[in-house]
Each structure stands twice: as structure tokens, then as C-alpha cells.
Structure 1
Amino acid sequence: MIKIYGMKTCPHCVYLDEQIAGDDRFQVLDIGEHVRYMREFIHLRDTSPAFDNAKEVGDVGIPCFLLEDGTVTLKPEDVGLREYDPEAPSCSLDGKGC
């Protein structure tokens, strides 16, 4: 099962939720819903090089995909999903997006 860390308030995450509705290959973990999910996400963000670019530009790094083999990616196409409009701003920590 592929875990997706995201938030219901993120348009990029909502776009993915629509794509995976009813697909049991994915488990959505809302990092704003439970502190346990936030803690898991922060650990991934702090330890995975997949977040290097997101941190560099001030993005949160959601949606984030954790594959069964432990691979972390921020690219929906890596798990067979479509990317949200690439021209739309990403959710950022500096308030520039979302």
C-alpha cells in the first residue's frame, strides 16, 4: 500500500484524493487531522533527500508518497497519478502558496 501524506486544505492533495477514490492501493494520511501523522511526515521530511528541493524553496512537501519499499517521492506520476496544474503555486511555509 502506498501512503500519501497530505491535508484536506491543500488543493494538490484534494486533486489526488479525487483520483484515488475507491482505490485500495493508497492510504491517505491527513497530517492536520492527527498528530501521529504529522510526526511521521516530519520525520520523513527531516530525513529524506526527496524533500531537499521543497525545503530549499520553502514548500511544505505535500502531497508526499511513501512506497511499500520505503521510497519517498513528491511526484504523483511516480505512483501512476496525475500532477495538479504545474503552474499552480505549491503549499509553502512562507505563505506564498495555498
Structure 2
Amino acid sequence: MRIFFGVVLPLLVQTLIVWVVIELNTGNGSFVGLGAMLIGMVAIPLTAIVNVLLIRSSRERPVADVLVRCYGFAAIAPALTILMMLF
């Protein structure tokens, strides 16, 4: 269950946010959608790999502590994508 809640769920949330930003910026002459796609292409797989390594390296730690670290790391890409939309 650690892998599902620590890797798969953040992966789905990141993918959803990047997809929404791309769809919102399609056809309006802005390059924000392209930037979101480029961030997503790098950040989503990298986040999944780091979260798997984080979960496997901390088996003795409480589940809640590990998941907080996973979600904290997974929040970086959506935050960058949303900030890019604002500026």
C-alpha cells in the first residue's frame, strides 16, 4: 500500500494537473502549455523514481512520515506548473 499511496497517487495527481494546464492553454497563443508539458515529461517520472527509492530506503519509519515526504516532493512539479501559468 505504501507504493500505491506514495507513488501511484502522486503520479496521477501530477498528471491531472499538468493535463489541465495544457488543456487550458491550448489555442490561445501562449507557450505555457508547452512549458507544462516539458515540466511534466521530466518531473513526473523523476518524482515516481525518487518516491520509490524513498519508500524502499525507509521501511522502518512510520507510513505517515514517509507519505508526507513523498507528497511534499510530488508537490514541486504542480507548483511550478501553476506558477508558470500566473506569470
What TM-score do you get using the length of structure 2 for normalisation?
0.30
Which of the pair is proportionally richer in strand?
1
Larger Rg: 2
| Structure possessing the higher relative contact order (Cα contacts under 8 Å, 6 or more residues apart) | 2
What TM-score do you get using the length of structure 1 for normalisation?
0.28
Which of the pair is proportionally richer in helix?
2
